[in-house]
Amino acid sequence: MIWRSLKLAVLASLVALTGASCGPRKPARQPNVVLIVIDSLRADHLAYYGYDVDTTPFLSTVIPRGVAFRRVHSTSSWAAPAAASLVTSLYPAQHGVHSGVLATRTLQDIDPRVTLNRLPAGVGTMAEALRGAGYSTWGVSDDVDVSPDLGFDRGFDRFEHRTEIGASVVNAIVRGWAGEIRGAAPYFLYIHYSDPRRPYVTRAPWYTPRRREREDAMAAYDSEISYVDDHVRALYELLGWDRDTWLIVMSVHGEEFRDHGDWYHGRTLHGEVLSVPLIFASAAGDLKPRRVEEPISIVDVLPTVREIAGLAPDPADMGLSLMPVIRGDASPSLDRVVFAELRSPPWYGGREIKAAMRGHLKYVLTLPDREELFNIAADPGESRDLAWNRPDLRAELRGEIERLEAEAPRYADEPLRVVIDPRTVERLRSAVYAN
| Domain boundaries defined on the chain | 32-433
pLDDT per residue as tens digits for the range 306-323: 999 999 999 999 999 999
pLDDT per residue as tens digits for the range 386-420: 999 999 999 999 999 999 999 999 986 655 555 55
Distance CA 58, CA 37 (A): 16
Question: Can you give the pTM of this predicted structure?
Answer: 0.89
Q: How buried is residue 181: exposed, middle or buried, by Cβ count under 10 Å (0-12/13-18/19+)?
A: buried
For all residues of the chain together, what is the average pLDDT?
A: 86
- What is the structure's pLDDT at 350? 74
State the average pLDDT over residues 7-27. Answer: 49
Q: How buried is residue 396: exposed, middle or buried, by Cβ count under 10 Å (0-12/13-18/19+)?
A: middle
Q: How far apart are the first and last CA of the chain?
A: 46
pLDDT per residue as tens digits for the range 196-246: 988 889 999 999 999 999 999 999 999 999 999 999 999 999 999 999 999
At 296, which helix (H) or strand (E)?
A: strand 296-297
On the question of pLDDT at 103 being above 80, the answer is: no
On the question of pLDDT at 152 being above 60, the answer is: yes
pLDDT per residue as tens digits for the range 83-92: 999 999 999 9
On the question of pLDDT at 192 being above 80, the answer is: yes
The better pLDDT of the pair 240, 259 is held by 240
CATH of 32-433, one of 1.10.10.60, 1.10.1370.30, 3.40.720.10, 3.10.450.50: 3.40.720.10
Residues of the chain above pLDDT 90, percent: 65
Distance CA 246, CA 249 (A): 10
Residue 170's closest CA among 195, 200, 193, 138?
193
The answer to whether 169 and 228 are in contact (CB under 8 A) is no
Task: Read off the pLDDT band of 29 (50, 70, 90).
Answer: confident
